[in-house]
Amino acid sequence: MAYPTTGPATWFVTGTSRGLGLELVKQLLRRGDNVAATTRSTERLVQALGTVDTSRLLPLQVDLADQQQVTGAVREAAQRFDGIDVVVNNAGYGFLAAVEEVTDAEARQMFDVQIFGVWNVLRAVLPAFRASRSGHVINVSSILGLTSFPGWGLYCAGKYALNGLTESLAAEVAAFGVKVNLVEPGYMRTDFLLPHSLGLASDATPGYESIREMADAHLAMPGTQLGDPVKAAQAIITMAVSGQAPLHQLLGSDSYQLAKAKIESLAGDIETGHALAVTTDISQPA
């Protein structure tokens, strides 16, 4: 069993000082579970939790791109709570810019959070998961890990990479009894699209006026998103407790519709390109 049937479960959650991560921590603590929560500011996290009982909380200030810090945090959590049952890699942020406008430093920072930080957590937790033949990894991706929009190239690149990493991981550790899921939300009513959370092109390139319009539309979106972070956190808990979710778990009706449209578009491309695809096989002797 990946999830304990008796007593509190222990969760290791990244990116917890706001949004979905914060809501998840609140619900887990109210359930009576143990939570090791990583954040860039433990003070901000504890303040955001307000009156929630934090006696089962281990707040950890961690730079996820620093493997030593991550390994130390996982070790501290396992020692404090006698092991870890569920890992939720949730840390992330949005970025709106044309591909041409993204600097090398901005691209590397995105992958530090979306990929290398996740990889550091996985390296730290998987040996114990394999040894105990249990454990559950839930990687929070996005519908933009399955489809893409203009202006979201950097964010999509990180989430597509996370999806590929997670699919491979799921196949590799299934024989050890370790469960793996991807969560792919649509637009949620959090501060994800607020200016202090969303990266934007530092220098607007002439000709990409449509990208500026898209950025402005997204900055005006907060308060209108369909997704409820309270219900999304509940869904993640349900996934862990039941152990029955598919590898790709969409969240939100918008995510569902976008995923269906992507499947149809991809199927069309595959069929349209079939005739040329088969011409590249090595010819077999008659």
> What's the pLDDT score for residue 1?
54
Instruction: Give a yes or no: residue 283 inside a domain.
Output: no
Which one-letter DSSP state was computed for residue 114? I
> Active-site residue numbers?
141, 155, 159
Which one-letter DSSP state was computed for residue 143? G
Which CATH number covers residue 35?
3.40.50.720
How many domains does the structure of the chain reveal? 1
Instruction: Give a yes or no: residue 232 inside a domain.
Output: yes
Q: Where are the beta strands (DSSP E) in 116-269?
A: 136-140, 179-185, 199-200, 248-251
Query: What is residue 53's three-state secondary structure?
Result: coil
Residue-by-residue pLDDT tens, the chain, 286 positions? 567 777 799 999 999 989 999 999 999 999 999 999 999 999 999 999 999 999 999 999 999 999 999 999 999 999 999 999 999 999 999 999 999 999 999 999 999 999 999 999 999 999 999 999 999 999 999 999 999 999 999 999 999 999 999 999 999 999 999 999 999 999 888 878 777 777 888 888 999 999 988 888 888 878 888 888 999 999 999 999 999 999 999 999 999 999 999 999 999 999 999 999 999 999 887 6
The amino acid present at 249, given as its one-letter code, is: Q
Query: CA of 88: how far to CAs of 37, 104, 122, 219, in Å?
Result: 10, 28, 10, 27
pLDDT per position as a tens digit, 199-209: 888 888 999 99
The amino acid present at 69, given as its one-letter code, is: Q
Instruction: Give a yes or no: residue 198 inside a domain.
Output: no
What is the residue range of 168's domain? 10-92+104-192+228-260
Instruction: Give a yes or no: residue 22 inside a domain.
Output: yes
> How long is the chain?
286
Instruction: Give a yes or no: residue 148 inside a domain.
Output: yes
Instruction: Give a yes or no: residue 200 inside a domain.
Output: no
Instruction: Give a yes or no: residue 154 inside a domain.
Output: yes
Share of the chain above pLDDT 70, in %: 99
